[in-house]
Structure 1
């Protein structure tokens, strides 16, 4: 058997977790060919094929699956042992990887991370914007961010920022041409800018006033999947948009959009940071959690 390099085992785990050489290479900051060479050297050292390769994907062979099953806990123990030494350092080091929807990254998580990194210069932070629901443990994330506190029982959740509200906005030009809706149901007669989730379902709009709750499925010619693009479309007069307030505060002040149905705003839960309950938490992640716990969030205005 050829000499076996332990780092190639970690690379093998990354390739399977990421679903390919290119994604694993991007995560490590190296070339795809370097990843491929490491896997080839590992297979040569073990004298067995670990991955089935096609032009579109890679998948573990039976031997690869067996190795991966034993490898995960072993690599976790090694990382834990190294991180235990990290506790003896005056300043935590290591990495924090977080999966989050774009709006939470834009207005809460990124500003927090930038501030945190100034306080902890030895900690690396990776934020992956993704609206899809993912298995954060399987995908190698330390934590995730989701809307509301409805998470799996084996996860610990903590509020990340104040409660949220949506704003319904349109440009002055659109309103001059189409008129102003007086109630949520009037929106059904307007050109609304719709949003589609990654899973394919369309976003519904919910309103509340004096105990009366109304939910509509907006109609319109334009469908998007990004809050940034919805904001651009609203400013351009393409229709009425449904956006978190943070996206349009400056636009409202400048008059490029006008808020509609403000008395029908529904108060929503905050974003929540969640992380596994039964998993060793690294020194870097513990520092980040402690940093968040000591934050004071501003209240949402009525």
Structure 2
């Protein structure tokens, strides 16, 4: 009967946006961070939506959030129409005097410090209505499922199904230690000497411990160094190296200033390696936000890490 037909309201549209974000993250807290609202506000909005439509969309426990059958059906039905709306709203930036909107980036920690930080002040001055939300983490995540517009990683770790653009030159990796450490324990002369030293290892984004890959002319070796400390952020290890804790294999741009002032000394200078630089990557399924395109253009123009 017509009197029982369900009509969508503006409140429903807002709550459906909340529902889609929660469903993507399977978490109220992570969805709240993306949306910029409190988790309790999301919970109230979802309860109100479920009450209005008379159907439960989510199963909520203290440990998990899952979709009901009705929730799965709704996601399938509204996903594409909402994507069309997002694309149409982003297209309006062409008619504005200045671009606006929010850009969420998941960025390797070294890229955040060496690549993004130098250009952010100029970007803010140029585009004050664009909000940058940067999550700096070396843990690999699915940027699309996690609600990010793009990720920035070393090129060899970029997922193959993404569109990628280079943002930096290739990066040279070198072994460094402090003068105080080398005075105490001596200086390695050959790669196998590293096995007798205190070394600080990197945990990769997939939880593997990095084996040092060294090159000298045509020779390549891979060493599982004895690990005194394992870190998941190079800056943590760098601070330990500066304090005399041991040797570490690091991106040269991260330590060049310490080499210049003598606080660090390069070890085994003939044994280095050059790896992929940083790339920004994003899904081909979504329109590139104007603000993100402008950020890419600025980085490629200013070249804080070469290109």
Question: Can you list the C-alpha shifts for 1:182-205, whole angstroms capped at 9, x where unaligned?
Answer: 122211121111122243311111
Question: What CA distance in whole angstroms lies between the structure 2 residues aligned with 1:119 and 1:106?
Answer: 20
Q: Tell me which moved more, 150-159 or 172-181.
A: 150-159
Q: Does the alignment pair 1:139 with 2:146? A: yes
Question: What CA distance in whole angstroms lies between the structure 1 residues aligned with 2:88 and 2:278?
Answer: 32
Contact 2:155-2:278 at 8 Å conserved across structures: yes
Contact 2:115-2:305 at 8 Å conserved across structures: no
**Structure 2 counterparts to residues 1-302 of structure 1, below 5 A:** 4-148=11-155, 151-296=158-303, 299=306
Relative distance call for 1:298 and 1:35 in structure 2 (3 A) is closer
Question: What CA distance in whole angstroms lies between the structure 2 residues aligned with 1:108 and 1:96?
Answer: 16
Question: Can you list the C-alpha shifts for 1:167-191, whole angstroms capped at 9, x where unaligned?
Answer: 2111222212211001222111211
Contact 1:193-1:223 at 8 Å conserved across structures: yes
Question: What CA distance in whole angstroms lies between the structure 1 residues aligned with 2:281 and 2:138?
Answer: 15
Q: Tell me which moved more, 274-283 or 287-296.
A: 287-296
Gaps in structure 1 of 5+ consecutive residues: none
C-alpha displacement at 1:285, in angstroms? 2.4
Which TM-score applies when normalising by structure 2? 0.89
Relative distance call for 1:197 and 1:267 in structure 2 (3 A) is closer
C-alpha displacement at 1:269, in angstroms? 2.0
C-alpha displacement at 1:249, in angstroms? 2.4
Question: What CA distance in whole angstroms lies between the structure 2 residues aligned with 1:152 and 1:193?
Answer: 28
Contact 1:93-1:284 at 8 Å conserved across structures: yes
Question: What CA distance in whole angstroms lies between the structure 2 residues aligned with 1:286 and 1:233?
Answer: 37
Question: What CA distance in whole angstroms lies between the structure 2 residues aligned with 1:141 and 1:72?
Answer: 17
Question: What CA distance in whole angstroms lies between the structure 1 residues aligned with 2:265 and 2:292?
Answer: 41
Question: What CA distance in whole angstroms lies between the structure 2 residues aligned with 1:28 and 1:247?
Answer: 33
Computed over aligned residues only, the root mean square deviation of the Cα atoms, in angstroms, reads 2.2
C-alpha displacement at 1:150, in angstroms? 6.1
Which TM-score applies when normalising by structure 1? 0.91
**Aligned residues between the structures:** 300
Contact 1:207-1:266 at 8 Å conserved across structures: yes
C-alpha displacement at 1:153, in angstroms? 4.8
Question: What CA distance in whole angstroms lies between the structure 2 residues aligned with 1:25 and 1:291?
Answer: 30
Report the secondary structure of 2:228's partner residue.
coil
Relative distance call for 1:151 and 1:90 in structure 2 (3 A) is same
Contact 2:50-2:56 at 8 Å conserved across structures: yes
Gaps in structure 2 of 5+ consecutive residues: 1-5
Report the secondary structure of 1:187's partner residue.
helix
Q: Tell me which moved more, 242-251 or 159-168.
A: 242-251
Report the secondary structure of 1:262's partner residue.
coil
Question: What CA distance in whole angstroms lies between the structure 1 residues aligned with 2:158 and 2:113?
Answer: 22
